[in-house]
Chain A
Amino acid sequence: MSNLKNKKLTLTQQKYKVFAQQRVTQRPVLANCIKAFFVGGTICLIGQLVQWIFMTYFGFDEVTAGNPTVAVMIILSVLLTGLGVYDHIGQFGGAGSAVPVTGFANTVASASIEHRSEGFVLGVGGNMFKIAGPVIAYGVFSAFVVALLKIAIKGLGGM
């Protein structure tokens, strides 16, 4: 990917990029991955706990417990976002907080909260999916393609 970018740069620019990279603090990839692992793992652990509570005390089974679990995780994330805590979790945990569904809820909640000053319709309503939009758009589109392909392959006597 970076090679494609380099093709458009002149030789001086490419040399400068290397020069600059040696002097700017690089992202601590290993440390970030370790932190992402622990934060992400913990969030999933909490999800597993919530699911267990729903199954044990509310009589849901493994399949039907999924929905209320996701709802609870989302409520927790929205609360933490509103209280101004989730952005700090995010700075620390990186993908560990962005990848779980709590990260998705954080994008919707943070955008909604931020754009309230522009009114509830155009501000909150219009900007709610600023960051989450691509996730839904590409999720739906890829699910559509995958489902069609699977049906087609099945129809042709495949799987």
Chain B
Amino acid sequence: MEKFLWAFIVGGLICVVGQIMMDVFQLTPAHTMSTLVVVGAVLGGLGLYEPLVKFAGAGATVPISSFGNSLVKGALMEAESTGLIGVLTGIFEITSAGISSAIIFGFFAALVFKPKG
């Protein structure tokens, strides 16, 4: 149950960081999300994101920053098994589910729904 509390708190805090970027630094949502992804990638590279995931569970895996972490993880894992070329071939290994789902279900949505303004 403790995991749920930390998921809520850590997830909320990462979102507050995003809100500050949008309101105080006047970044657009696209800029904000891109920055958080890059931050996630950097923290992932430094080995600091995995401990956060272990601690906060979905509070660290649901925010977009985990996307950056997963991209780095995929690249490093593949590089370890197949050599330097793995950096290119492994990037989408872990994030494939996310991107594929977004495309597939986004497409279904376009088939079924109409914008409501």
Contact = CB atoms under 8 A, between A and B. Distances in A.
Contacts of B94: 66
A69 B116 CA distance: 28
A33 B16 contact: yes
Nearest to B43: A146
A97 to B, nearest CB: 8
A109 B112 CA distance: 11
Interface in A60-101: 66-71, 73-75, 78-79, 81-84, 93-96, 98-101
A100 B62 CA distance: 5
A103 B84 CA distance: 33
For the residues of B in contact with A, the DSSP-based class is helix
Contacts, number: 266
B19 A82 contact: no
Interface size class of B (residues with CB under 8 A): 35 or more
Interface of A: 1-2, 27, 29, 32-33, 36-51, 66-71, 73-75, 78-79, 81-84, 93-96, 98-105, 107-116, 120, 124, 128, 131-132, 134-140, 142-144, 146-151, 159
